[in-house]
Amino acid sequence: MPHLIPPADQIRTVHIMGVAGTAMAALAGMLKDAGYAVTGSDKAVYPPMSTYLESLGIQVMQGYVGSNLDHSPDLVIVGNVIRAIYEEAQVLLERDLPYCSFPEAFGALFLRDAHSIVIAGTHGKTTTTSLTAWLLEAAGKEPGFLVGGIAKNFDRTARAGSGQVFVIEGDEYDTAFFDKGPKFLHYRPKTCILTSVEFDHADIYRDLDHVKESFRRLVAILPHDGTLIVRGDDPGARDVATGARCRVWTYGAGQLWDGRVESVDTDTGTMRFTVLRDGSALGTFTSALVGEHNLYNQVAACAAAAAYGVDPEALGAGFDTFAGIRRRQEVIGEPGSVTVIDDFAHHPTAVRVTLHALRERFGGRRLWAVWEPRSATSRRSVFQHDYADAFGAADRVVIARPYDQSSIPEGERFSSEQLVQDLAARGVDALVLDDADAIAQTVAARARPGDVIAILSNGGFGGLHQRLLELLEAGTSSP
């Protein structure tokens, strides 16, 4: 049972267990680019990852069965979705095949000699990582990157890059069934952005203090000559940063690195903003990212670029051309003058800031929020009452019944019905519906021209996105 990574010159074939996860698919693409023969296995593959893997020519084996390893790959990379009881995992442990986790492989094969910029925190990681990578790209630094989503400018989740800098989305989730530490500990950070620290991932963390323990370990491995860029007005992040032994830059309202919104254009959906450093204007930029949380995601990205030595004058081209990220306030269609948005928000804080940003972006248009409780945390009752506040910016709210709760004790399960009652008590028009088809039928029937419909889910939502677009389009074409 060799839990190790062979020397690079001894690796020709790589198999990835759990290949359809965003990070795993990203690594698959990088390994493919580096010349390795790559295969993978997973039990559920849907867009955009399915189309991404297909475009790379990577064979995806369905299910975690032992025969997936019959070709005896030189290295097996095990995703954190893999449980030790899976047949494929059992066969892996029985055979003389080298294996490791995704973060271990990534750190060893791609980060050994790089300036690693790790973006960590409960919220904003994907947006901030994508933007930081693009600012460096626009400045000619040719960065490598690893993003937990697909940045439209790159149309992929990762690449090796040809420069000396690597930008990485650092996940606090555990690494693998044989390594329960957080993934970001393997990413060798030289610069680190810490956006926020809140309780999340209730399936692996006991409470907020347990979450903070992991982030403290990340701060502790920053080298003396590194830089920690921390959201200074976030209590959790500020607390964790106190143990830093390197240079610390704070950002946020009233911090060393600050920002102000100059204007929001609701016709073009863009924001003009100024980045301030120690009270002086570093520059004024225009961006497709709107809202206060995105203002400070962009301030943090500026700070990271500056920490690497990018001249402030080089940042404007990056902001002007940044196209955003799929599944982050992404407009996926506008049939019948109804704007349909796809977004990944699922934590109550993410739901709240996303809806407020959409309110700013689209002005007084009627805003729908259609939400699926799907993540390990949102399917539990830990944030039951917080969600009632999170949806306050929406005019209409539709809640699906939670995704599979069979493994959650009955007394710990989130209740969609209770949320609807709590929203109604606040004067919010809300209802709960059984499945994606019922939601699509109901929303399409009630939508009117000018509406903005935000679909919020960290999964596929039962195909709701496409079904709703089809129904809205059919309604537009009806006589």
Higher per-residue pLDDT: 303 or 205: 303
E strand or H helix that includes residue 174: strand 174-176
Length of the chain: 479
Q: Does the pLDDT value for residue 264 go beyond 80?
A: yes
Q: What is the pLDDT of residue 476?
A: 64
Query: Which are the contacts of 177, defined by CB distance < 8 A and separation ≥ 6?
Result: 78, 80, 82, 83, 84, 89
- Three-class SS of residue 65? coil
Q: What is the pLDDT of residue 478?
A: 46
Q: Is the alpha carbon torsion for 361, 362, 367, 370 positive or negative?
A: negative
Average model confidence (pLDDT) across the chain = 91
Higher per-residue pLDDT: 476 or 37: 37
- Three-class SS of residue 159? strand
Read off the pLDDT band of 1 (50, 70, 90).
very low
Q: Which tens digits make up the pLDDT trace of 175-197?
A: 888 888 888 899 999 999 999 99
- Three-class SS of residue 264? strand
Q: Does the pLDDT value for residue 420 go beyond 70?
A: yes
Q: Which tens digits make up the pLDDT trace of 225-251?
A: 999 999 999 999 999 999 899 999 999
Percent of the chain with pLDDT over 70: 99
What's the start-to-end Cα distance of the chain, in Å?
66
Average pLDDT on 313-331 reads 87
pTM: 0.80
E strand or H helix that includes residue 301: helix 292-307
Q: What is the pLDDT of residue 459?
A: 86
Cα separation of 201 and 223, whole Å? 28
For the purposes of burial, counting CB atoms within 10 Å of the CB of 108, is it exposed (0-12), middle (13-18) or buried (19 or more)?
A: middle
Give me 323's structure tokens. Answer: 């196209």
Residue carrying structure tokens 């990762």: 158
Q: Give the strand pairing for 165-169 and 156-159.
A: unpaired
Ordered domains of the chain (ranges, CATH)? 8-101 (3.40.50.720), 111-321 (3.40.1190.10), 330-477 (3.90.190.20)
Percent of the chain with pLDDT over 90: 64
Cis before 48? omega within 30: yes
Read off the pLDDT band of 269 (50, 70, 90).
confident
Q: Which tens digits make up the pLDDT trace of 284-302?
A: 999 988 888 899 999 999 9
Q: Does the pLDDT value for residue 479 go beyond 50?
A: no
Q: What is the pLDDT of residue 2?
A: 55
What is the edge-to-edge ordering of all strands in the sheet holding 396-400? 330-333, 339-343, 452-456, 367-371, 396-400, 429-433
Nearest partner of 304 among 419, 133, 77, 84, judged by Cα: 133
Higher per-residue pLDDT: 355 or 148: 355
